Amino acid sequence: MSLETTSVGSFPKPPYLTRARTLHGKGEIPDEDLETLERRATKEWIAFQEEIGIDILVDGEQYRGDMATYFAENLEGCEISGLVRSYGNRYYKKPVVIDELARPEPITIAWWRWAQDQTTRPLKGMLTGPYTMMDWSFDEHYPSREDLALAFAKVLHQEAKDLERAGAKVIQIDEPALSARTDELDLVVKGLGIVTRGLEAKTITHTCYGNYDRVFPYFNRLPVDQIDLEMSNSGLDLLDRFRRTPLNKEIAFGVIDVHTHRVETVDDVRERVERALQVFRPDQLYVDPDCGLKTRTVDEAKAKLRAMVEATRAVKSAHGLG
């Protein structure tokens, strides 16, 4: 296959689900009512992806809050703090590690199985990576950042193996904190290596935004089959680096800027894909947004994804790619 389309993971929650989550937080609606609406929103997003022709689907993470908190609250050894500022007016409940980490039961498997049953197309398994889990948590137990990252890696490896046993053909391990401390890139490699060890599924790591001057030499060392990178928000400035130092794995190439309300035109996206094809082989290149779309409105996210798929089809037709 060439120029397959996909998405990074998160989609915006429809207004009815946002309201329900607020009421649930106040104790005004029960768990089962919230879950019914989460499943409704998930089915709607899967149906939309099928409708526009995306090749590799995501479930949209309608049942998740913050990407680190979601996993931490399902692990032994973690507590969840009050709200902590992330950036701007974004806040999240930061995990606090108070004891040895353990995974008492699978975290994502039941949701993944149910979501995959809604479609015949492949659906990604989605995990938050061990380095990001460590960097976004308070540590009150482990003696070092490395010890905590590797402890997270071990429990996430268990989850990845269970996803594969459940039938997941594609497993993505998100590491948005990868460039936070460029003196710890060897630890990122080590942690990802533990999570992906022995997997036969296609493995992906997604990272977004940051100064890649130090990170770039590590791209080929990351123990995954595919790297998913934001490219559009930074003006495709990494393309020249990839010309000089070829990537020895697949790339999911971000062609949609998720930090603007402007909806890209088909011509905008087509030009970005064409530029990517000057550097990457068609069978090496996947097309997706820069990052998760959860910060956009539902209408914006849908319009951006439509432009992405239509532009990719136009490029494939122009190049005779099946």
- Give 249-306 pLDDT, tens digit per residue: 999 999 999 999 999 999 999 999 999 999 999 999 999 999 999 999 999 999 999 9
- Of 20, 23, 62, residue with least CA distance to 40: 62
At 194 the pLDDT is 98
Q: Strand pairing of 226-229 and 250-256?
A: parallel
For residue 91, being part of any structural domain is answered with no
Query: Which DSSP symbol is given to 75?
Result: S
CA dihedral for 299, 13, 18, 95, sign (positive or negative): negative
CA separation for the pair 322, 320 (Å, rounded): 6
Residue type, 203: T
Residue found under tokens 């607020």: 22
Q: In Å, how far from its chain's centre is CA 276?
A: 21
- Of 50, 58, 104, residue with least CA distance to 77: 104
Helices (H), 136-292: 145-166, 185-196, 212-215, 239-244, 266-277
For residue 82, being part of any structural domain is answered with no
Tens of pLDDT, residues 5-39: 999 999 999 999 999 999 998 999 999 999 999 99
At 322 the pLDDT is 74
For residue 89, being part of any structural domain is answered with no
Pull the structure tokens for residue 93. 């409940």
Tell which phi-psi region holds residue 209, choosing left (phi > 0), alpha (psi between -120 and 50) or beta: left
- Residue 54 sits in a domain whose CATH number is 3.20.20.210
For residue 290, being part of any structural domain is answered with yes
CA separation for the pair 317, 159 (Å, rounded): 39
At 224 the pLDDT is 98
At 174 the pLDDT is 97
Strand pairing partners for 170? 202
- Of 172, 175, 198, residue with least CA distance to 187: 175
- pTM for the model: 0.95
At 87 the pLDDT is 62
Q: Give the number of domains in the chain.
A: 1
Residue found under tokens 């990122």: 188
- Are the C-beta atoms of residues 202 and 171 closer than 8 Å to each other? yes
Distances (CA, A) of 241 to 35, 69, 202, 225, 237: 45, 35, 25, 19, 8
Pull the structure tokens for residue 15. 């207004």
Structural domain containing residue 173: 4-64+109-128+146-319
Pull the structure tokens for residue 10. 């998160």
At 233 the pLDDT is 85
Low-confidence ranges of the chain (pLDDT < 50): none
